Amino acid sequence: MEWNWAFAFAILPRLLEGAKITIVATFLGFLIAIVIGLAIALGRRSQQAWIARSVGLCADFIRGTPLLVQLYVLFFVLPNIGIVLSPLTAGVIGLGLHNATYIAEVYRAGIESISRGQWEASKACNLSIGQTWRHIIIPQAIPPMVPALANYLIAMFKETPLLSAITVYEIMGEALGAASRTYQYLEPVTMVGGFFLIISLVCAYLARVLEERVRIYQ
């Protein structure tokens, strides 16, 4: 089995188009995950027991089922009740919801790391609950979360090949399409592996830089 440079260069434009979809899906899914993850973390701390319990059960259900099954539900099952999503939309929502349940635990750990004295000082200063969260708790809780959030971003990036199961032509989908037409798997699969490796290393480096800057800021 020899490397075919002509074939590699021929499929490169399609792989680059797929790479754009991969990056877009990752960052949109991550945006959904950090927003919904915060909502889950706050919901589980609600003083209303039924809210905290309901949010916890929903999060446990999503976290306890495979992402691939959730993608199938979003894309293939929801149309049966009149909800039709495009492949990319279903993929982004699936990535976001699934990872939000894990990111919620990162938020929870960060929030619980704040000493009780901070809450008591906020009450002593007559700050409302909203002001306490916005000005005291969240600004202190988020910086220690940066490494974990960066790791989840990288993990989400490496989960995007699952989107090919619902016909999202991200980079892995394009690679498998080219391989199935020509029965040449070496070049497309190797190129995809190299792409994921390079982007993961770049993201890891940027995460370390951000972590250092946050530490200096603190």
Domains in the chain: ranges and CATH: 5-217 (1.10.3720.10)
Flag the least confident range among 112-121, 167-176, 188-197: 112-121
Mean pLDDT, to the nearest integer, of 36-62? 90
pLDDT value of position 121: 80
Mean pLDDT, to the nearest integer, of 104-126? 83
pLDDT value of position 139: 77
pLDDT value of position 216: 67
| C-beta separation of 32 from 92 below 8 A | yes
Provide the whole-model pTM. Answer: 0.87
Cβ-proximal residues to 94 (8 Å cutoff; 6+ apart), any chain = 29, 67, 70, 71, 74, 163
pLDDT band at 59 (very low <50, low <70, confident <90, very high): very high
Mean pLDDT, to the nearest integer, of 168-197? 89
pLDDT value of position 103: 94
Cβ-proximal residues to 96 (8 Å cutoff; 6+ apart), any chain = 28, 29, 30, 31, 32, 33, 36
Both tokens of 129, joined, read: 């609950």
pLDDT value of position 21: 93
Angle between helices 171-182 and 5-44 (to 10 degrees): 140
Helices (H), 45-135: 49-64, 67-72, 87-112, 116-124, 129-132
Both tokens of 127, joined, read: 């700050």
